[in-house]
């Protein structure tokens, strides 16, 4: 049995950066256990060699941007000389037209057609009705649906948000409004218009540029891991955890590769997995964690014999008539990841109903929808297709999710197990938030602050905002 002071479960961004920070501040004897054969979790890449040409593809589009103090500087430091500054272009595609975000007045004029004209007439009337219902009659806005209908009116909600919720999460009737507060940076039409015309406010809802590692997200997490190992940190890959136990204040982790013991256990793996692995978990806690559900993600990569497809880094598709909720082009993040005369388009499908289809059915559907949206004219330039299915990506914030999370965390606090990260806190966040969580957790451990102080700090993690 191998013994360490600290064991971290999961070598994603949160786990790696936490381990690195602890070692740099004098901690010793830290082991990270990772189930995959690669580092980085979702913030990583995979490499493909086709016809003697090399391609680096991320697990979905990632940008490095933050409004949190010090995090942009941290990204820049991690990437070093290979830190690219990318001018960001992203769009929304709805009513048969593409709109930049925030929407510009000139685009509204340019994109006039029967659908947009009809929407332009009915949206203000719908908004007036919502103002009366939610502000005069005082209807509550606890759900995703009510929160956005209150701010945008039912017509705009139907066009922009309702179907997107179905595609990415679940029935918007049962979703908490907190997912809207986190994921949609403007709460109402008034705020949208003010930020559209006020350039100083735009950065809070829409980054104009972002950082990106020259050779893909694998470089970012690889650099963090390198620093961790340089300070004698240990990482063991391909570790399938069989059980976690606690005896005389020591944690015992049994994996397919061996048995490990530690004084301090920190988890970044999914809460439900952690609870089911931990032998002291009660039936009640196991039942509570079963309510915390995720949607899976399918990535369809299409390889083209041409240098560029879209001008955007990514385009959102909120309408149900399109299978994918977003498309992106890896080359627009870094030209060093794809051969010069080729490009790769990635279509993301989260809709649970569609994810039940076969690989070939999903690929055919995505290509058909790209043609329908006039992103591509036909499939003649596609020379390779690849599909990646990833389990448990998007947390579903139902109306009771916070209450259930609190119960699980309180149980783990009593057991002296720390859980953080996107998976560890069932937290809808980005890589910058992962760094921030890791920093705050390291500070708590290094300063040995009280559980009450740590709980207060941890509560702030649920207030993160995602800036597109």
Listed by start position, the domains of the chain span 2-42+215-292+397-463, 102-202, 294-395
What pLDDT does 131 receive?
A: 74
Question: What is the predicted pLDDT for the residue at 100?
Answer: 80
354-401: per-residue pLDDT in tens? 999 999 999 999 999 999 999 999 999 999 999 999 999 999 999 999
Homologous superfamily, domain 2-42+215-292+397-463: FAD/NAD(P)-binding domain (3.50.50.60)
Residue 322 makes CB contacts below 8 A (sequence gap 6+) with 93, 369, 372, 373
Judge whether residue 322 has pLDDT over 90.
Answer: yes
Backbone angles phi, psi at 194, to 5 degrees: -65, -40
Among 179, 114, 198, 192, smallest CA distance to 153 is for 192
Structure tokens belonging to residue 6: 């600290």
The predicted pLDDT at position 99 comes to 83
| Predicted pLDDT at 140 | 83
Predicted confidence at residue 113, as pLDDT, reads 61
Rounded to whole angstroms, the Cα distance separating 332 from 317 reads 19
pLDDT above 90 (res 134): no
The pLDDT mean for the chain works out to: 91
- Average confidence (pLDDT) over 306-333: 96
Looking up tokens 């999914």 gives 270
Tens of pLDDT, residue by residue over 393-430, are 999 999 999 999 999 999 999 999 999 999 999 998 89
Specify the higher pLDDT residue, 371 or 195. 371
Task: Decide: helix, strand or coil at residue 244.
Answer: strand
pLDDT at residue 438 is higher than 90: yes
CB neighbours of 111 closer than 8 A, spacing ≥ 6?
95, 97, 98, 99
The whole-number average pLDDT for the span 81-97 is 93
3-state secondary structure of 374: coil
What per-residue confidence (pLDDT) applies to 129?
75
Distances in whole angstroms, Cα of residue 390 to Cα of each of 59, 84, 88, 294, 321: 9, 27, 26, 11, 23
Span 44-81, pLDDT tens digits: 999 999 999 999 999 999 999 999 999 999 999 999 99
pLDDT of residue 198: 55
Question: How many residues are recorded in the chain?
Answer: 468
Q: Is the pLDDT of residue 466 over 90?
A: no
Q: What is the CATH number of domain 294-395?
A: 3.90.660.20
- pTM score, two decimals? 0.92
Cα 173–174–178 angle (5° rounding)? 100
Return the higher-pLDDT residue of 185 and 197.
185
pLDDT digits (tens, 9 = 90+) for 219-264: 999 999 999 999 999 999 999 999 999 998 899 999 999 999 999 9
Backbone angles phi, psi at 212, to 5 degrees: -160, 135
Q: Do residues 265 and 244 lie in contact, with contact meaning Cβ atoms separated by under 8 Å?
A: yes
pLDDT of residue 126: 79
pLDDT at 151: 85
């Amino acid at each position: 049995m191998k013994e360490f002071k600290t064991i971290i479960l999961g070598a994603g961004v949160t786990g790696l950066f936490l381990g690195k920070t602890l070692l740099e501040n004098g901690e010793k004897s830290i082991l990270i256990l990772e189930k995959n054969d690669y580092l980085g979790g979702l913030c990583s890449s995979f490499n493909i060699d086709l016809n003697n040409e090399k391609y680096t593809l991320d697990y979905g589009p990632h940008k490095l941007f933050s409004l949190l103090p010090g995090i942009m500087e941290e990204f820049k430091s991690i990437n070093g000389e290979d830190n690219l500054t990318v001018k960001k272009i992203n769009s929304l595609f709805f009513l048969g037209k593409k709109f930049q975000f925030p929407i510009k007045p000139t685009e509204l004029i340019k994109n006039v057609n029967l659908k947009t004209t009809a929407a332009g007439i009915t949206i203000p009337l719908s908004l007036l009705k919502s103002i009366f219902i939610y502000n005069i009659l005082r209807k509550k806005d606890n759900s995703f649906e009510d929160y956005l209908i209150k701010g945008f009116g039912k017509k705009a909600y139907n066009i922009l948000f309702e179907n997107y919720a179905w595609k990415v999460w679940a029935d918007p009737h049962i979703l908490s409004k907190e997912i809207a507060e986190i994921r949609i940076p403007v709460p109402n039409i008034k705020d949208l218009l003010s930020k559209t015309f006020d350039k100083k406010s735009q950065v809070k809802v829409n980054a104009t540029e972002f950082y990106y590692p020259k050779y893909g997200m694998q470089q970012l997490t690889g650099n963090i891991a390198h620093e961790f190992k340089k300070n004698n940190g240990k990482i063991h890959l391909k570790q399938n955890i069989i059980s976690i136990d606690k005896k005389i204040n020591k944690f015992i982790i049994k994996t397919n590769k061996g048995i490990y013991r530690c004084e301090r256990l920190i988890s970044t793996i999914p809460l439900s997995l952690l609870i089911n692995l931990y032998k002291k978990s009660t039936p009640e806690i196991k039942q509570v964690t079963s309510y915390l559900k995720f949607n899976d993600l399918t990535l369809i990569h299409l390889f083209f014999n041409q240098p560029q497809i879209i001008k955007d880094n990514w385009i959102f598709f909120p309408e149900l008539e399109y299978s994918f909720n977003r498309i992106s082009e890896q080359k627009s993040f870094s030209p060093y990841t794809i051969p010069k005369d080729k490009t790769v388009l990635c279509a993301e499908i989260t809709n649970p109903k569609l994810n039940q289809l076969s690989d070939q059915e999903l690929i055919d559907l995505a290509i058909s929808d790209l043609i329908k949206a006039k992103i591509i004219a036909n499939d003649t330039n596609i020379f390779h297709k690849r599909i990646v299915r990833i389990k448990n990506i998007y947390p579903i914030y139902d109306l009771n999710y916070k209450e259930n999370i609190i119960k699980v965390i309180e149980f783990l606090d009593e057991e002296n197990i720390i859980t953080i990260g996107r998976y560890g806190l069932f937290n809808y966040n980005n890589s910058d938030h992962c760094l921030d969580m890791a920093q705050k957790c390291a500070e708590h451990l290094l300063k040995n602050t009280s559980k009450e102080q740590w709980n207060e700090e941890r509560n702030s993690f649920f207030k993160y905002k995602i800036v597109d």
